[in-house]
Amino acid sequence: MPAAGGTVGPDVVVPGSQQVAPAFFLAVTVVAVLVLGGLLTRRHLRARRGSVRRRPIGVSAALAVVVLAGAAAWLTRPPPFFVPELGALPTLMPADNVFRRTATDLPVSADSGRWIGSISDLELSAGFGGRVVDGVVWGIPYNFVDDATVRRPVAIRLEPRSSFPGPYPITDPAYIESMPTYGFDMHYVGIDPERSEVWELLSTRAWFGRWEADSGAHYSTRSNAYPVGSTIAAGLPLLPGTITYDEVAAGDVDHVVLAAIETTATGSWIWPARGTDGRSTVPEAPPQGAWLRLRETADLSALGPQATVVADALRTHGLILSDTGPGFALRGTPDRRWDDDDLATLRTLHASDFEVVDPSGIVVDPEQLAVRPPA
């Protein structure tokens, strides 16, 4: 179905009661069928022994439960799912924002050798795609919102003090990370292109109409200020560092990319990060916030067309480590137009193909995301 902003996607259930209800009603139906079978068997045996027949109250009740629970399971079943095509995003963040900055002129960090050495064997991968794999489609979807989108209160359960208090504009349907079966991060992102505002939620769910999340953030894409709140460990905005299909199809990913990696330092981070969930005991593990640039000498000959565009961006703009996660995965959006086999060729690149750059000379204010332009 067409949605706002040019997105074409399915109706979906959201994590929480909508997701649990069909399984609950199906389980009740199965139990009621077993009970009904037992009651009918007992009545049959009594009849054969010539016992006095009783009113079939139990049988009638069990049959009613079977019918009602079965109908409820049918009515609450998930709608047919297909991976959406997300509408094109406008340019995000000001021209002097770190996400828009090229990295080609930045010096190599003095720590590059030891940090890269601790992760050198990790394969690069696309943490997004165009197919459902093991019940989920990987990537960060976004939802276009406007003044007419319902603003909903969201109960922030894990980080209430640091999160944006809300309310949050939540669309219907609401596309949430790891749909349609969920279970991984479950980011919800809403963007209002007219007002240049973004809202983000982590571990999003709704129980009987009441929305909850672990944390939430809000920021303006016209500002170099950090978000109010955050939904990723490094404290950065999520959407500006996410690769979209449309920019790859246009041949130009014109921004820094965010990446999750399994090995990051415990308790330390560097600008532009403002926090970490790193838990590696490896002494040389890179901190979150480390800015990596793909080396000019990296061999791109095995990459497909889509992967080549991504690699070009990693040479020009680089990537910033922003989360702990399996492997070494780039942030991107789910979209059925991705060629997953093409994206899989990114695995021919490794962390050893990167070098860490030193952005200290371009930082305008460590409490902001603004940077100085290339000379």
Burial of 344 (0-12, 13-18, 19+ CB in 10 A): middle
CA distance 77 to 79: 6
* Token output for 55: 């009113």
- Supply the pLDDT for residue 21: 72
* Residue closest to 236 by CA, chosen among 326, 177, 323: 323
- Supply the pLDDT for residue 30: 84
How many CB atoms neighbour CB 254 within 10 A?
14
pLDDT in tens, the chain (375 residues): 455 678 999 999 999 888 877 777 778 788 878 877 887 787 777 777 766 566 677 778 877 877 887 787 777 777 888 999 999 999 999 999 999 999 999 999 999 999 999 998 999 999 999 999 999 999 999 999 999 999 999 999 999 999 999 999 999 999 999 999 998 899 999 999 999 999 999 999 999 999 999 999 999 999 999 999 999 999 999 999 999 999 999 999 999 999 999 999 999 999 999 999 998 888 899 999 999 999 999 999 999 999 999 999 999 999 999 999 889 999 999 999 999 999 999 999 999 999 999 999 999 999 999 999 998
- Supply the pLDDT for residue 338: 98
CA distance 217 to 215: 7
- Supply the pLDDT for residue 77: 75
Burial of 24 (0-12, 13-18, 19+ CB in 10 A): middle
- Supply the pLDDT for residue 350: 97
Phi, psi of 42 (to 5 degrees): -65, -40
* Token output for 216: 């939430």
Contact 349, 121 (CB under 8 A): no
- Supply the pLDDT for residue 4: 60
